[in-house]
Structure 1
Amino acid sequence: MKATSLLERQHRKVESLFKQLEGGRSEPAPILAELANELAAHMAIEQERFYPAVRQIDEDLILEGYEEHAIAELALKRLISTSPEDASFKARVTTLKELIQHHVEEEEEELFPKVEEAMDEDRLQELGEQMRAEFEQRLSEGYEELLPAGYKKTSADRASHAKRADAASPG
């Protein structure tokens, strides 16, 4: 599967989980845990595999992607720490959903078309297979392992700083 198709499929899964969470017909805790796991694993593969592989295609969009991940991660941490009975729970679900929707729109409408035009089909397939395998691994680790504790550091900070350090180091 192409890298962009894999990411789009994951976007649809997250959208479905938001609908379930907002619907209120099911116990929110397991849906929230699944949403957190899906988002954390998705962000990890984008930050560590996809963004570095396509950064030269549109560096501004990639840097914005890292920042959007950082903000979404903070919103996710706030949501996870909120009881479903808390008056702010629904507002936090809505805020996270809107952040994710904006991010998805930019990727699917701006970044992905540029990537598909610039990269050959075989490379997109190869990258997609690497990302699929890594996603499954990350999903099994769970969001508790993937999201740094606290609010000062995010996984996007770690990934973007690591890639800049790799690019700056000689040979």
Structure 2
Amino acid sequence: MDIYGYIKKDHRRFEDLMEQVEKARTTAKRLDIFRTLKAELIIHAKAEEQSLYAAMEKATRSKAVEKKLDHTTEEHDEIEGFLKQISSASPSSDQWMIHFGELKHACAHHFEEEEGTLFEKAKSYFDAAQARQLARDMDALKREMMADA
């Protein structure tokens, strides 16, 4: 699997977890699924920045691509901010669900941008073997971070 398929697989998992949060029948179940989502989103973002984003920064000489990478990193920070807001709200409150809706919207926007323009640019930098290696690198980073967590 290449880096693009690897990241898309993560994105689809996050979408599924968000749907499960929304459909959870109890606050305890909602919170349990949210904790999984939160941990996995944070690890995904850090590993992505250290693998794909770092490789793209190294490969590019384009200011536009550097700005795009800065933008996607800012989106990661925004998503982490929503995760913190949700974590500090009462899980049974309307505010919790409002913040969760904001998180879901931010993630959908980020996934769409990343899978579109960012992946297209990355494909111009990396051949198939490099894209597969980036997936292995990201997977190894995620496993290491999960072990440390």
TM more than 0.5: yes
The equivalent residue for 2:13 is 13
Instruction: Choose between structure 1 and 2: higher helix proportion.
Output: 2
**Aligned residue in 2 for 1:44:** 46
> What corresponds to 2:130 in structure 1?
123
Taking the TM superposition and a 5 Å limit, the aligned residue runs for 1:136-155 are 136-142=143-149
Aligned residues with identical type, % of pairs: 29
- Corresponding position: 1:91 with 2:93: no
Q: How far has the Cα of 1:25 moved from its partner?
A: 2.8
Counterparts of 1:55-94 in structure 2 under 5 Å?
55=57, 56=60, 58-94=65-101
Show the counterpart of 2:22.
Answer: 22
> Whole-Å Cα distance in 2 between the matches of residues 89 and 18 of structure 1?
13
Alignment partner of 1:88: what SS?
helix
The alpha-carbon deviation at position 81 of structure 1 amounts to 1.8
Choose from 105, 109, 123 the match for 2:112.
105
Scaled by the length of structure 2, what TM-score is found?
Answer: 0.89
Whole-angstrom distance in 2 between the partners of 1:44 and 1:141: 13
Aligned length: 142
> Which residue is equivalent to 1:168?
none
Secondary structure in 1 matching 2:94 = coil
Runs of 4+ residues over 2 Å off in structure 1: 139-142
CA distance in 1, matches of 2:88, 2:77: 17
Q: Normalising to structure 1: TM-score of the pair?
A: 0.78
Does the residue aligned with 1:85 lie in a helix, a strand or coil?
coil
Residue matched to 1:167:
none
Deviation string, structure 1 residues 104-137 (Cα, Å, up to 9, x no partner)? 1000011112212321111111111011111122
Gaps of 5+ in 1: 143-171
Alignment-mate amino acid for residue 36 of structure 2 = E
